[in-house]
Amino acid sequence: MVDANSFVGKDVISMRKYNREELDYILKTTDDMMLVEEKGTDICKGKIMASLFFEPSTRTRLSFESAMHRLGGSVIGFATPKGSSIDKGESLADTIKTIDSYADIIAMRHPSEDSAILASENANIPVINGGSGPWEHPTQAVLDLHTIITAKGKIDGLTIALVGDLLYGRTVHSLAVALSNYKVKVYFVSPETLKMREDVIRDVKGKLNYVETSDLKSILSELDILYVTRIQKERFENPEDYEKVKNAYLINKEFLSGSKPDLKVMHPLPRITEIDRDVDNTQYALYFQQVKHGVYARMALIALSLGVL
Ligand code: NCD
């Protein structure tokens, strides 16, 4: 049986590690955190989270830090490796071994794909992956699922499109894997050159009912959730390749007039041009509400790993 003890001392590295029962438990805990956040708590009093961000971040870092403060704990760390000993050539493994003595839990983002696994191998304290290069972003998937449940009352039975950069976008990798635990229909919508990563396809095959397409317009009327992503400019080797696809999907109010009236548009943010501002004040826009769930989801994951529940 899955209960709070199932998560104590555990890392949060990849959505591949979770089954439906575990996800349901995490999402229920995330739900509980909505009330905890409102009332205030000090269940993490005396605990320290190291927030190690080697890549740019606004929402993930600040919501992790907000989550730890809301739980009554404290935070140390850096928002850029500049100024840390990484700048002097220290390896990630050595940095992590050091932080292990200073904190009770690590929240980390790093440009390398295997960074989260490497950190977990070098730390005795739990490591939470806040984005490992283009590979995974598991806490984002938890907040995305929680946003969907809050808006729609359920996940099972929904038709969901993941749109944009499915090759380099780590949020959609984690979300696709997470959704493979639910009875949903998923469209992977991308330009031909940015199709869903092969290892994700391999892992969801046979579990997830999915269709790959580049044509968003033809499926729009079926959708309950339209999850839009940014083309990940910084991951392209050749800038010309980015130029070719940067405006592949431009979603505006007029385009959405062909959708179900209760369609919800999500985006992990930051958005560049893929969602026009004229969508922001429509009934479709869920992306600014989505960010709030990041605090609840990260409160739940921190509290579960620290074993304070
Ligand atoms: C995403 C990320 O960093 O992967 N942002 C986030 O964490 N909310 C999405 C992106 O950068 O496009």
pLDDT tens, position by position, 60-69: 999 999 999 9
pLDDT tens, position by position, 261-307: 999 999 999 999 999 999 999 999 999 999 999 999 999 999 999 99
To which H or E segment does residue 141 belong? helix 138-152
Which ligand 1 atom sits closest to the C-alpha of 137?
4
Mean pLDDT over each residue of the chain, to the nearest integer = 97
Instruction: Kindly state the tokens that stand for 221.
Output: 């009327």
Ligand 1 center to 58 CA (angstroms): 9
Ligand 1 center to 169 CA (angstroms): 8
170-201 residues labelled b (16+ CB within 10 A) or e (exposed): bbbbbbbbbbbbbebbbbbbbbeebbbbeebb
pLDDT tens, position by position, 40-59: 999 999 999 999 999 999 99
Residue 121 phi, psi (nearest 5): -70, -25
pLDDT tens, position by position, 18-44: 999 999 999 999 999 999 999 999 999
pLDDT tens, position by position, 125-146: 999 999 999 999 999 999 999 9
Which ligand 1 atom sits closest to the C-alpha of 130?
7
**C-alpha R_g of the chain:** 19
In the chain, % of residues over pLDDT 70: 100
> Which of 60, 144, 271, 298 most suits a substitution to test ligand 1, by most atoms within 8 Å of the C-beta?
60
User: pLDDT band for position 84 (50/70/90)?
Assistant: confident
Q: What is the pLDDT at residue 87? A: 83
User: pLDDT band for position 257 (50/70/90)?
Assistant: very high
Ligand 1 center to 91 CA (angstroms): 25
Q: What is the pLDDT at residue 85? A: 87
Rounded to whole angstroms, the Cα distance separating 71 from 88 reads 34
* For residue 83, pLDDT beyond 90: no
Which ligand 1 atom sits closest to the C-alpha of 170?
4
Q: What is the pLDDT at residue 243? A: 96
- Interacting residues of 147 by C-beta distance below 8 A, sequence separation 6+: 266, 286, 289, 290, 293
Residue range 70-86: mean pLDDT, rounded: 93
> Which of 55, 113, 137 most suits a substitution to test ligand 1, by most atoms within 8 Å of the C-beta?
137
pLDDT tens, position by position, 165-202: 999 999 999 999 999 999 999 999 999 999 999 999 99
